Amino acid sequence: MSKHSSDSPAQVTVKTLQKRKQEKQKISMVTCYDAAFGVLIDDTGIDMILVGDSAGNVVLGFKDTIPVTMDHMVHLTGSVGRVVKRAMLVADMPFLSYNLSVEQALRNAGRLVQEGGAAAVKVEGGAAILPQVRAIVQAGIPVVGHLGLTPQSVHVLGGYRVQGKGDQAQVIIDDAIKLAEAGACALVLELVPAALAEEISRKIPIPTIGIGAGAGTDGQVLVLHDLLGFNSDFSPKFLKKYANLGEVISQALTQYDKEVKGGQFPGPEHSF
């Protein structure tokens, strides 16, 4: 049923997520970067849409998320925020947009909400950014945390690898507890052992959203272009491809090219 009808499902909010966790109902989240996909996603039952700085990889052509700027994120968030009515819209705060000071964090979080239409912002990191998390929440903006593999810190972490093994596990547990205490409304756990993610999910009162973190989290998130199979060469262990759109799109474009050059398109039925 279209979200524009009077019988549309209720808007997903922070309270919705909290109720889902309490009732042990799973939460679904997917990334999105434009209006066309935003409308499609919002007409499904998916709970949360993340305008991720993963746009750096899948939309903007960068090799990682580091070059993504606030202007990029405000523009992308706005294109999704203008069409999404039901799902909870979360926007990533990009590299060094919140780390310098509380004032900087507040200003940039405010842009994503005021200019982009986000309902919440997501930040990577633990103890070091607690003052920023508290301030953003106190300003009336929900915050989603992100621990484990934090792509903005990929150079410090030594690459895209599983986090939270050995002594590092306790650090992630402590950071998760501190983020929840600071007022975060949810927590993304990326590329951490399943047992650790499940333990964190039990220990904190806010929902956990996993990616490469096993089935014990309160929800799951995947990058839209990955789950739709845009890139046949990208197949990490944690990813399930629900379609192979890369091949479908390629075939459609190839056929269009062939028909234009062969004179089959446009035909009489396409002319006025």
Decide: residue 61, CB within 10 A, 0-12 exposed, 13-18 middle, 19+ buried.
exposed
Whether residue 65 contacts residue 111, with contact meaning beta carbons closer than 8 Å, is answered with: no
Q: Token pair 């474009």 is at which residue? A: 253
Residue of 71, 22, 65, 17 lying closest to 221 (CA atoms): 17
Amino acid found at 99? N
Catalytic residue list contains 190? yes
Question: Is the CB of residue 147 less than 8 Å from the CB of residue 188?
Answer: yes
Kind of pairing between the strands at 120-122 and 143-148: parallel
Distance CA 223, CA 180 (A): 24
Q: What angle do CA 99, 105, 111 make, to 5 degrees?
A: 135
- Residue 77: helix, strand or coil by DSSP? helix
Which whole-number Å values give the CA distances from 256 to 128, 230, 262, 265, 270, in the listed order? 53, 19, 10, 8, 14
C-alpha to C-alpha distance for 62 and 142, rounded to whole angstroms: 28
Q: Are 29 and 49 in contact (CB under 8 A)?
A: yes
Say which of 124, 190, 198, 199 is annotated catalytic.
Answer: 190
Task: Quote the tokens at residue 202.
Answer: 């039990």
**Angstrom distance (rounded) from CA 266 to CA 31:** 36
Catalytic residue numbers read 190
